Amino acid sequence: MASRQSLACYTLALLFAAAAVSAQLSTDFYDETCPDALDVIESAVRAAVSKESRMGASLLRLHFHDCFVNGCDGSVLLDDAPGFSGEKTAQPNKNSLRGFEVIDDIKAQLEDACEKTVSCADILAVAARDSVVALGGPTWDVELGRRDGTTASLDDANNDLPAPTLDLADLIKAFSKKGLSATDMIALSGGHTIGQARCVNFRGRLYNETTSLDASLASSLKPRCPSATGNGDDNTSPLDPSTSYVFDNFYYKNLLRNKGLLHSDQQLFSGGSADAQTKAYASDMAGFFDDFRDAMVKMGGIGVVTGSGGQVRVNCRKAN
């Protein structure tokens, strides 16, 4: 009996501890310490997206790539430093991640407004939301209070970020490792309704999966993505060729017509367990938006450091 009571007390203690950590993230975290923070971020993001529509997808991707490697701690923004190789040169990020200068600009404005207050990790989370909204997508309340990490890991970035060559089972597994369900994975994949992919990431699908790729799309892609490795590797094509700069549900509509640019995209409609949800999103944009916003909040809580942990970096590119 005593052992059962001890186990129950221990379990309750863990639950209360988890709740306490979660409670440290709040939507009004900066209301007193930096009341203009969200306005500053929104204004800068809208200006950046207005200047270059593609930037919206780039800022959304920065948040995703940050959270999937050692949690949402702003580590993706760190330059290499003595003692570690950062995430920027990892295979999924090299010559691919963009938007660092936009984050630098936002951080500089926030340091002027309220010194050493708003973390780089929180800037990424809010900028991702504001980018989606700027391109016509849903809004959500971003939970805030993340602290910044002081180190980064090249190896973790190479290992933890889902590759564009993954099959459905491996996609589900990769997201599950981060506490995200298959439903979350399919909804978050809808972020590909905006943005571009490099030729090197879809060449295999273009030339080796001809029976599962729409022929007209394949023909339009080949001039920008030749079959020879190293030839046009960094040339880009839209992940959603229908409405490249509008956050909508055409990504899923495209999958129903075998127009997924990446192998991992088309896996969401390939005769497997993801088909029903993908088909539902293709006909119900509101349903997709609801699930996307829920999944973004959930992803934004991966491995966060709060309270006295970490730091608020003055320069997002280096530890204080």
Question: Is residue 92 annotated as involved in ligand binding?
Answer: no
| Annotated binding residue 167 | no
5: Cβ contacts below 8 Å, ≥ 6 apart: none
Known binder of ligand: residue 192?
A: yes
Residue 65 known to be catalytic: yes
CB 193 within 8 A of CB 244: no
Instruction: Please indicate if the annotation marks 165 as binding a ligand.
Output: no
Residue 27 in tokens: 């939507």
Three-class secondary structure of residue 26 per DSSP: strand
223 is in an annotated binding site: no
Beta strand 236-238 with 196-198 is antiparallel
- Asked if residue 243 belongs to a known ligand binding site, the reply is yes
75 is in an annotated binding site: yes
193 annotated among ligand-binding-site residues? yes
| Cβ atoms < 10 Å from Cβ of 115 | 11
* Interatomic CA distance for residues 150 and 170, integer angstroms: 30
Q: Is 248 annotated as ligand-binding?
A: yes
Query: How many residues belong to the chain?
Result: 320
Catalytic residue among 54, 61, 63, 65: 65
Going along 87-238, which residue ranges are E strands? 196-198, 236-238
- State yes or no: 143 annotated in a binding site: no
240 labeled part of a ligand binding site:
yes
Cα 74 to Cα 3, 147, 274, 299: the distances in Å are 42, 8, 31, 14
Residue numbering of the annotated binding site for substrate: 162
Extract the annotated binding site: 66, 69, 71, 73, 75, 87, 162, 192-193, 240, 243, 248
> Catalytic positions, please?
65
Residue ranges for the known binding site for Ca(2+) are 66, 69, 71, 73, 75, 87, 193, 240, 243, 248
